[in-house]
Amino acid sequence: MKLWDAKNEQVAKGDLEQVQLERLQSTLNRAYKNVAFYRKQFDSLGIHPSALASVQDITKFPITTRQDLGDNYPYGLFAVPLRDIVRISSSAGTTVKPVVVGYTKGDLKVRDTVTARFLTAGGVVDTDVVQICLNPGLLNWGRALKEGAESIGALVMPMSLMSTSKQLMAMQDFKTSVLLTTPSYAMHMLGVMEAISIDANSLALKAILVVGEPLSADTRDRLESSFNVDVTAGYGPSDVMGPGVAFECNQKKGFHISEDHFVLEIVDPDSGNPSPPGKAGEVVLTTLTARAFPLIRFRTGDLAFFMDQTCLCDRTLALVSGITGYTGDVLTIRGVKAHPIQIERLLNGIFEAISPRFLVHLYKENHLDMVEIWLEMTDTIFSDEMKILDNTLRKLRQQIFQILGLQVMIKLIEASTFDHYALPSCGVVDDR
Amino acid sequence: MLRITNLNTCYDRIKALDNVSLHVSAGEIVCLIGANGAGKTTILNTISGLIPCALGQINFEDRKINGLPPERVVAAGISQVPEGRQIFGPLTVLENLQLGAYLRFKKREKDAIVEDLEWMFRLFPRLKERIKQIAGTLSGGEQQMLAIGRALMARPKLLLLDEPSMGLAPLVVTDIMNTISALRDRGVTILIVEQNARASLRISDRGYVLETGRVVLEGSSDELVNDSDVKRAYLGKDYKTFWEGRDRP
């Protein structure tokens, strides 16, 4: 099996440790020197970058949260002057303000490299026809994957807003050999194929690479046998990094961490202590090479565990499991991170003083995550004219789509239902 | 080959190096760049045992060498070409070169030394022309060649070069740099300290950027040459306002 970056993917453990230490020390020095937020954080804990004598010492440093990213909107966490930034990508984030990530030219190169590692490990080569099907909320990843695949030299069909049947038509006509998508969308495609009688054997597909959501063993089996392809997955927090933070190889035993560019910790979400191999905890990431947007101990909200085994492939990069769940109340819907509070704020914006209670109901339909918002019917919403009521709801749906990139349905329910069933206001019912 | 972790060096109570880690792999040319007083020379002097390090570890070929006296460091295979050449002025070119092989002479490697002298003269034909000349009367460039030649006579595995371009005319700098680059083909690994960042990045594989005793950046020479911070600070492409477009943190 080919490796994209053999020298760094097969690095000897001792050499890797040295490189990680050097990069971590210089990252901390730069963050402390150039980013007021980090300097304040470090100072408040009374810790200086020079306190780091080994990679394990990273646990002494303060955690960075999504809240911090929102608080420092837009440029507060940038470590280089704006004129060095060549790309900004912004995502909804999980707080009031969006999350903005900046890239220097060099940062984009690094992102391409780690993405290309993931793609190559999944079997992508320069002669492939790669089709990217992601929902709008994962636009940034669509770009990262497109650029990664292009750096390999593959022919790329970037993500578009075509319907599933059109995507399938393109897949047949353009002889797509690699599909990049989310597990649920791949399953959804399978369903549509059955409905409109497209035979999987008529496709030129040889591999499906998935991102954004955990890939269950069942889903993998189902996709592999139905499409007769290999299915591998990539990992990264979709709001702040690319999909190549960790990736599966053809052994499919776990995710190889791109350890020369990221330090990945697994910590107990409550105590913050490091979790031993095999024990699930929250994934905490630190960048080692990022210039524009260094992240120190970023809490991803994803749960996973270290795998204490070596892989049969030629890579020496350590293994971490796939995502086993999520912490706190950050929701992951079709790979997009969201927080119920964002919907609450929208409602407050629309209805001002008397904002109705609501519930976010998540369920699966045709393998896709669906979002239903149960909204309390109040006097402010109610109108005896259907048109006005319709308008209000449409406006709400549009605004949610603009912020989260997700289509949602809105169901109006009686106020008494909230009381009768003791439903939590602005809570989440997850039936997935 | 050389692996340094968490090096701390003090001059009296002033910290010159603050937790510096770096490595040099066999066959590499690695450069350290940074402004005056950033700690570049201190790193070299600490490696070669001229200054004791307060804390940290220096491993050469998997052997701990910190704390060793300079002559043992030379014996281990590390030679330093000091800043400002520091050749033996009153001695001839030949005597300077022979002194470089002092430790080997004691080990009765006479034939090999003669062979290496030939190599030096092939490497620096100018030195052959001036073999009997008193070293102090050589030009700056020739003195630098002699200093490098003298260090090479110890047959080092790792050569530490401190500001080889200092005080030399641009043409001579190119000459010296090309020679250094050619040394790699003879199996010599090189750690070079330079204020002339452009010249040293041109011949090196990787580099570290030092600021006030700390490494603030590391990467391949390619990355560093194209890095905006490096361009501004060390390649003379300065801008009026560093934090243009945003508030100063």
If asked whether residues A234 and A381 sit together in one domain, one would say no
Nearest to A249 by CA among A192, A172, A319: A319
If asked whether residues A373 and A296 sit together in one domain, one would say no
Q: Which of B215, B226, B244 is nearest residue A25 as measured by Cβ atoms?
A: B215
3-state secondary structure of A416: helix
Tell me how crowded residue A92 is: count the other CB atoms within 10 A of its CB.
20
Residue A146 pLDDT: 96
Q: Which of A15, A81, A289 is nearest residue B243 as measured by Cβ atoms?
A: A81
In this complex, do A19 and B5 lie within 8 Å of one another by their Cβ atoms?
no
Residue A333 maps to a domain: no
For residue A263, give the DSSP letter: E
Beta strand B206-211 pairing with B29-34: parallel
| β-pair partners for A360 | A373, A428
Domains of chain A: total: 2
**pLDDT tens digits along A202-238:** 999 999 999 988 898 989 999 999 999 999 999 998 7
Q: Which residues of A touch B213 (CB under 8 A)?
A: none
Residue A65 maps to a domain: yes
- Tell me which of B102 and A79 has the higher pLDDT: A79
pLDDT at residue A426 is higher than 70: no
Residue A373 maps to a domain: yes
Q: Which of B208, B214, B249 is nearest residue A35 as measured by Cβ atoms?
A: B249
Interface with chain A: mutation pick from B246, B247, B248, highest number of A CBs within 10 Å: B246
Q: Which residues of B touch A26 (CB under 8 A)?
A: 208, 214-218
If asked whether residues A251 and A375 sit together in one domain, one would say no
If asked whether residues A213 and A280 sit together in one domain, one would say yes
* Sign of the CA dihedral running B111, B112, B118, B121: negative
Residue A424 pLDDT: 65
Residue A359 maps to a domain: yes
Q: Which residues of A touch B20 (CB under 8 A)?
A: 25
Nearest to A410 by CA among A397, A399, A419, A400: A397
pLDDT at residue A127 is higher than 80: yes
Q: Which residues of B touch A289 (CB under 8 A)?
A: 219
Final residue before a domain boundary, out of A286, A307, A328: A328
Task: For residue A327, give both structure tokens.
Answer: 């912490």
Asked if A303 and A322 touch (Cβ cutoff 8 Å), the reply is no
**What string of H, E and C letters represents the secondary structure of chain B?**
CEEEEEEEEEECCEEEEEEEEEEECCCCEEEEEECCCCCHHHHHHHHCCCCCCCEEEEEECCEECCCCCHHHHHHHCEEEECCCCCCCCCCEHHHHHHHHCHHHHHCCCHHHHHHHHHHHHHHCHHHHHCCCCEHHHCCHHHHHHHHHHHHHCCCCCEEEEECCCCCCCHHHHHHHHHHHHHHHHHCCEEEEEECCHHHHHHHCCEEEEEECCEEEEEEEHHHHHCCHHHHHHHCCCCCCCCCCCCCCC
In this complex, do A84 and B229 lie within 8 Å of one another by their Cβ atoms?
yes
Residue A393 maps to a domain: yes
Residue A133 maps to which CATH number?
A: 3.40.50.12780
Q: Which of A18, A29, A50 is nearest residue B23 as measured by Cβ atoms?
A: A18
Q: Tell me, yes or no, if B218 comes closer than 8 A to chain A by beta carbon.
A: yes
CA distance B66 to B56: 8
pLDDT at residue A293 is higher than 70: yes
Task: For residue A391, give both structure tokens.
Answer: 């308008």
Residue A411 pLDDT: 84
CA distance A37 to A295: 11
In this complex, do B226 and A105 lie within 8 Å of one another by their Cβ atoms?
yes
Residue A428 pLDDT: 78
Q: Tell me, yes or no, if B3 comes closer than 8 A to chain A by beta carbon.
A: yes
CA distance A171 to A223: 16
> Mind telling me how many Å the CA of B152 is from chain A's nearest CA?
28
Residue A1 maps to a domain: no
For residue A35, give the DSSP letter: -
Q: Tell me, yes or no, if B217 comes closer than 8 A to chain A by beta carbon.
A: yes
Residue A122 pLDDT: 96
Q: Which of A33, A35, A50 is nearest residue B19 as measured by Cβ atoms?
A: A50
Going from the C-alpha of A217 to that of each of A176, A178, A282, B16, the distances in angstroms are: 24, 20, 21, 55
Q: Which residues of B touch A16 (CB under 8 A)?
A: none
By 3-state DSSP, what share of chain A in percent is helix, strand and coil, each rounded to 5? 40, 25, 40
In this complex, do A21 and B239 lie within 8 Å of one another by their Cβ atoms?
no
Q: Which residues of B touch A15 (CB under 8 A)?
A: 23, 25
**pLDDT tens digits along A378-408:** 777 777 788 888 888 888 888 888 777 778 8
List CB contacts of A394: < 8 A, sequence separation 6 or more.
none
Q: Tell me, yes or no, if B61 comes closer than 8 A to chain A by beta carbon.
A: no
If asked whether residues A192 and A227 sit together in one domain, one would say yes
- Kindly list the structural domains of chain B, giving each domain's residue range(s) and its CATH number in brackets, ordered by start: 2-234 (3.40.50.300)
Asked if B59 and B2 touch (Cβ cutoff 8 Å), the reply is yes
Residue A43 pLDDT: 96
In this complex, do B249 and A49 lie within 8 Å of one another by their Cβ atoms?
no
If asked whether residues A70 and A205 sit together in one domain, one would say yes
Residue A101 maps to a domain: yes
Residue B244 pLDDT: 45
Q: Tell me, yes or no, if B128 comes closer than 8 A to chain A by beta carbon.
A: no
**pLDDT tens digits along B100-155:** 888 887 777 888 888 889 989 998 888 899 989 999 999 888 999 999 999 999 88
In this complex, do A81 and B246 lie within 8 Å of one another by their Cβ atoms?
yes
In this complex, do A81 and B244 lie within 8 Å of one another by their Cβ atoms?
yes
* Helix or strand run (H / E) with residue A230: strand A230-235
Ordered DSSP codes for A332-385? EETTEEE-HHHHHHHHHHHHTTSPPPEEEEEEEETTEEEEEEEEEE-TTT--SS
Task: Tell me the whole-structure pTM to 2 decimals.
Answer: 0.86
Q: Which of A18, A52, A106 is nearest residue B227 as measured by Cβ atoms?
A: A106
Residue A80 maps to a domain: yes
pLDDT at residue A287 is higher than 70: yes
If asked whether residues A304 and A354 sit together in one domain, one would say no
> Mind telling me how many Å the CA of A17 is from chain B's nearest CA?
11
The H-assigned helical ranges of A100-195 are 105-121, 139-152, 164-173, 183-195
Beta strand B29-34 pairing with B189-194: parallel
- Which chain A residue shows the shortest CA-CA distance from B209? A26
If asked whether residues A263 and A385 sit together in one domain, one would say no
Low-confidence ranges of chain B (pLDDT < 50): 239-249
Residue A425 pLDDT: 63
Q: Tell me, yes or no, if B22 comes closer than 8 A to chain A by beta carbon.
A: yes
Q: Which residues of B touch A83 (CB under 8 A)?
A: 228, 239, 244-245
If asked whether residues A225 and A84 sit together in one domain, one would say yes
Q: For residue A74, say if its preceding peptide bond is cis, omega within 30 degrees of 0.
A: yes
**pLDDT tens digits along A6-28:** 999 999 999 999 999 999 999 99
Residue B236 pLDDT: 59
Residue B247 pLDDT: 47
Residue A404 maps to which CATH number?
A: 3.30.300.30
If asked whether residues A191 and A83 sit together in one domain, one would say yes
Chain A residues touching chain B at CB-CB below 8 Å = 15, 18-19, 21-23, 25-26, 29-30, 33-36, 39, 49-50, 52-53, 75, 78, 80-84, 104-106, 289, 291
Spell A192-227 as b/e; 16+ CB within 10 A means b: ebeeeebebeebebbbbbbbbbbbeeebbebbeeeb
Residue A354 pLDDT: 65
**Identity at B12, one-letter amino acid code:** D
Residue A144 pLDDT: 94
In this complex, do A106 and B226 lie within 8 Å of one another by their Cβ atoms?
yes
Final residue before a domain boundary, out of A328, A356, A374: A328
Task: For residue B148, give both structure tokens.
Answer: 């490098």
> Structural domain of residue A318, as residue ranges?
6-328
CA distance A182 to B215: 40
Q: Which residues of A touch B227 (CB under 8 A)?
A: 106, 291
Final residue before a domain boundary, out of A302, A328, A354: A328
In this complex, do B5 and A80 lie within 8 Å of one another by their Cβ atoms?
no
Phi-psi region of A382 (alpha: psi -120 to 50; beta: other; left: phi over 0): beta
Interface with chain B: mutation pick from A29, A39, A108, highest number of B CBs within 10 Å: A29
Nearest to B188 by CA among B23, B27, B22, B25: B27
If asked whether residues A189 and A273 sit together in one domain, one would say yes
If asked whether residues A308 and A360 sit together in one domain, one would say no
Phi-psi region of B215 (alpha: psi -120 to 50; beta: other; left: phi over 0): beta
3-state secondary structure of A129: strand
**pLDDT tens digits along A340-362:** 777 777 777 777 656 677 788 88
